[in-house]
Amino acid sequence: MHARKVDLSIMRRNRNTTQTIGFSTLTLLTLVTIIPILVVIGYIYIQGMPAVSLSFLTEMPRDGMRAGGILPAIIGTLLLTLGTALFSVPLGIGAAIYLAEYAPDNRWTRVIRIAIINLAGIPSVVYGLFGLGLFVLFLQFGTSILAGSLTLSIMTLPVIISTTEEALRAVPNDFRVVSTALGATKWETIRKIVLPQSLPGILTGVILGLERAAGETAPILFTVAAFFLPQLPDSIFDATMALPYHLFVISTQVPGMPVQIQYGTAVVLLTFVLLMNISATIIRSRARARRQW
Amino acid sequence: MTMTTLTKNHPSSHAFRIQIQDLSLSYSDGKEPLQGINLNIPEKCISVLFGPAGGGKSTLLRTLNRLNDLADVSSISGHVWIDGVDILSPGIDVIALRRKVAMVFARPVVLPMSMRENLTYGLKLAGKRDPRELDQIVMDSLKAAALWEEVHDRLDEPAIALSGGQQQRLCLARALALKPEIILLDEPTSGLDPISTGKVEASLQDLKQEYTIILVPHSIQQAARTADFAAFFLDGRIVETGPGETLFTRPREQKTQDYVEGRFG
């Protein structure tokens, strides 16, 4: 009797110890993941913030980019993000609605889905070469904002399609059945129930997709980005500077580049992307709090 | 039994509203929930479809308003006439059919909007816009579903804030708001407490003066309490039909008797 009691307490202590070790390991792993991110972001901001000023954001680069501001790169990235949104958002949401709501589950749609998943995994430089071949050369758009936006759109589409499809499927099927039973057509059900309910999820996906487009270098390398073009574009057929490529150029291609300007440019790009990320997070958490299912 | 019999309509005195002939249906997963159903449903009565789970009752209900169009049906044969129109024929106006044959589901599914918007959802789709007319219908249908007293001062609050029993009565009111002629109820009280169940059943007793009601009950007791006319479903076939008071007290078939007496479920 006595011996058994002792055994039990040892077992309990062992289980508690296991639990403690487990928790500590998981906490440690989480810290190992988070700390480098915080260090990187913190380091870039500490190094770059002194360079960021109103004139840095609003002036043309001077002295072979070694002085002045980065306005053309900022405008270029804004235009490219907007252009990407213009093409990829309607197309991506449309495709997702088709796949989630209309498409029958057959071999054909399964092939489409697998293709979309695979598209998301293609290295971005391949998109860049594809954009060069199709938009710049074959369609003769030249090295232009149009060609760059289209290339970035193709890269962003899989992200938007799959997140939107997921958001649509998350809407309980009961809503569709009830809406149908109340005399709604399929499209009325989608427009009045499914889309409004999945809108926050769709927006989150769209923002995350565009954020990736805004930060990519390889797809714009051959299709739109200019090495040094100290003027703002006049039309969608103009080339433009863009933040990610500019950052690459001033970090590796220009001798005697002040470190502050390099980090300052990184701060601007990082802030742009982080702001998009944060807005996606806010949209999602607000929608979750307000959701009625 | 005698007391309830007094309040019951005798189905033989009513015209048949729905005639089902040789109806068979199978899903693409191989299940055949309906195998040669023949059934006539009298108007302005509560017709109860009862029997063990999986007998085809819900499938039959969902065939009557073509809600099975949403499901993976692989084949359907036979005829369903409602007021002389074969609703299975390809050319019929399915939307108009669903407005005429309204449905209340086992789980109360309120749409993610206010109570008022839930009630006017189908009406607005049907093109009704006049706010005074909509308000009138909202009030009438809530009163008919015995919910008006509890919610009339907070109609613009989210419907999800209601209790389960209130939600189910809202779903009933929402079906009534369409001004249907036939109401299908698929175990409408399965998730409700006895008091809410009593309220729903009481509403049904009032509603049958005007509507043709088809009810899949959630218990044999509810079947016996509510049925003017009853049909016993077993494995995709109808074993026996008849007036409620006969079927639950003196069934002709041994299987019906065994089920009614609780020998199998």
Q: Per DSSP, which regions of chain A are E strands?
A: 61-62, 67-68
For residue B17, the model assigns a pLDDT of 86
What is the distance in angstroms between the Cα of A171 and the nearest Cα belonging to chain B?
Answer: 10
What is the distance in angstroms between the Cα of A293 and the nearest Cα belonging to chain B?
Answer: 7
For residue B3, the model assigns a pLDDT of 38
DSSP assignment of A161-202 equals: HHHHHHHHHHS-HHHHHHHHHTT--HHHHIIIIIHHHHHHHH
Give the tens place of pLDDT for each residue, A97-142: 999 999 988 899 999 999 998 988 899 999 999 999 999 999 999 9
pLDDT of residue B146 exceeding 90, the answer is no
CB–CB contact B112 A176 (8 Å):
no
Q: Does B174 touch chain A (CB under 8 A)?
A: yes
Give the tens place of pLDDT for each residue, A59-92: 888 888 888 889 999 999 999 999 999 999 999 9
For residue B15, the model assigns a pLDDT of 77
Q: Per DSSP, which regions of B44-159 are E strands?
A: 46-50, 73-82, 85-86, 101-104
Q: Per DSSP, which regions of chain B are E strands?
A: 16-27, 34-42, 46-50, 73-82, 85-86, 101-104, 182-186, 212-216, 229-234, 237-243
Give the tens place of pLDDT for each residue, B167-210: 999 999 999 999 999 999 999 988 788 888 888 899 899 999 99
Q: Does A188 touch chain B (CB under 8 A)?
A: yes
Q: Where along chain A do its domains lie?
A: 68-290
Q: Does A287 touch chain B (CB under 8 A)?
A: no
Best of B111, B174, B181 to substitute, by most chain A Cβ atoms within 10 angstroms, is: B111
What whole-number percentage of chain B has pLDDT above 90?
69
Average pLDDT value for chain A: 91
For residue A14, the model assigns a pLDDT of 81
Whole-number Å distance between alpha carbons of A95 and B148 = 44
Whole-number Å distance between alpha carbons of A25 and A223 = 46
CATH class of A68-290: mainly alpha
Regarding beta strands B229-234 and B46-50, do their DSSP bridges make them parallel or antiparallel, or are they unpaired? parallel
CB–CB contact A176 B70 (8 Å):
yes
Asked whether B251 and B257 are in contact (CB, 8 A), the reply is: yes
Fold of B2-260: Rossmann fold (3.40.50)
Nearest-10 Cα torsion for B121, B127, B129, B132: -80
Across B76-84, average pLDDT? 92
For residue A46, the model assigns a pLDDT of 94
Whole-number Å distance between alpha carbons of B103 and B108 = 11
**ipTM score here?**
0.88
CB–CB contact B126 A183 (8 Å):
yes
Across A41-66, average pLDDT? 90
pLDDT of residue A203 exceeding 90, the answer is yes
Q: How confident is the model at residue B242 (pLDDT cuts 50, 70, 90)?
A: very high
Contacts of B191 in chain A (CB under 8 A): none
Q: Does A237 touch chain B (CB under 8 A)?
A: no
Query: Two tokens at A287?
Result: 């929608």
For residue B8, the model assigns a pLDDT of 54
Give the tens place of pLDDT for each residue, A241-279: 999 999 999 998 888 888 889 999 999 999 999 999 999
Across B57-73, average pLDDT? 92
Contacts of A185 in chain B (CB under 8 A): 95
pLDDT of residue A167 exceeding 60, the answer is yes
CB–CB contact B125 A188 (8 Å):
yes
Q: Does B65 touch chain A (CB under 8 A)?
A: yes
Average pLDDT value for chain B: 89
Q: What is the DSSP letter of A240?
A: B
CB–CB contact B111 A180 (8 Å):
no
Q: Between the CA of residue B57 and those of B3, B50, B53, B234, what are the distances in Å?
A: 28, 7, 8, 9
Contacts of A179 in chain B (CB under 8 A): 111, 121
Sheet holding B34-42, edge to edge: B34-42, B16-27, B73-82, B85-86
Instruction: Please count the other Cβ atoms lying within 10 Å of the Cβ belonging to residue A41.
Output: 13
CB–CB contact B95 A183 (8 Å):
yes
Please name the residue ranges forming H helices in A98-138. Answer: 107-121, 124-131
Asked whether A48 and A250 are in contact (CB, 8 A), the reply is: no
CB–CB contact B67 A178 (8 Å):
no
Q: Where along chain B do its domains lie?
A: 2-260
Task: Find the closest chain B residue to A174 by CA distance.
Answer: B109
Residue type for position A277? N
CB–CB contact A183 B125 (8 Å):
yes
Q: How confident is the model at residue B34 (pLDDT cuts 50, 70, 90)?
A: very high
Residues 94-113 of B with CB under 8 A from A: 95-96, 98-99, 102-103, 105, 107, 109, 111-113
Query: Two tokens at B127?
Result: 């093109």
Instruction: Please count the other Cβ atoms lying within 10 Å of the Cβ belonging to residue A20.
Output: 10
Query: In Å, how far from its chain's centre is CA A14?
Result: 45
Instruction: Please count the other Cβ atoms lying within 10 Å of the Cβ belonging to residue B250.
Output: 10
Query: Two tokens at A206?
Result: 């769209």
pLDDT of residue A166 exceeding 90, the answer is yes
CB–CB contact A175 B112 (8 Å):
yes
Give the tens place of pLDDT for each residue, B95-126: 999 999 999 998 899 999 999 999 999 999 99
Q: How confident is the model at residue B80 (pLDDT cuts 50, 70, 90)?
A: very high
Q: Which residues have CB under 8 Å from A46's CB, separation 6+?
A: none
Instruction: Tell me the pTM.
Output: 0.84
Smallest Cβ–Cβ distance between B178 and the set A178, A182, A293 belongs to A182
For residue B51, the model assigns a pLDDT of 92
CB–CB contact B111 A179 (8 Å):
yes
Q: How confident is the model at residue B5 (pLDDT cuts 50, 70, 90)?
A: very low
For residue A255, the model assigns a pLDDT of 86
Residue B166 Ramachandran class (φ > 0 left, ψ -120 to 50 alpha, else beta): alpha
